[in-house]
Amino acid sequence: MSWTLVFLIVSLSLNGFLAFYSVKVARRLIIASSNIAMISESVSLFLQSLQDVHESEMFYGDQTLQSLIDQSKELVLDFQQMEDIFSIVEDSEEGEFEEEETKN
């Protein structure tokens, strides 16, 4: 009987720790997801501004600006790929939010 009690205490302790750790990791993932979304939006706005400058008559066809545009496009694609990885968190949050709204 005493071994059962020891295993129960160890199991409950381990499960409590794992639950605490899972919540902590989930919070970090949510923060990282929102940061990547903000950075992606900023880079997209920068890319649009850069394209507007490149299309102006004064700088039309400038190779330096064209290479900056190409690098910015690659950077935006990289951020979009990272955002796709973290979108799982956002999708599950939206589902939970919709469930809470329907309950109220």
Closest CA to 82 of 34, 46, 42: 34
Supply 19's token pair. Answer: 């639950």
pLDDT mean over 89-104: 55
Amino acid type, 49: S
Averaged pLDDT for residues 25-54: 82
Average pLDDT, the chain: 79
pTM: 0.55
pLDDT at 73: 82
What pLDDT, on a 0 to 100 scale, did the predictor assign at position 93?
Answer: 54
In the chain the first and final C-alpha atoms are separated, in Å, by 47
**Is 30 a residue whose pLDDT tops 90?**
no
Nearest to 79 by CA among 49, 38, 21: 38
Provide the pLDDT confidence category of residue 7 given band limits of 50, 70 and 90: very high
**Taking residues 6-22, what's their average pLDDT?**
95
Model confidence at 79: pLDDT above 80: no
pLDDT score recorded for residue 103: 58
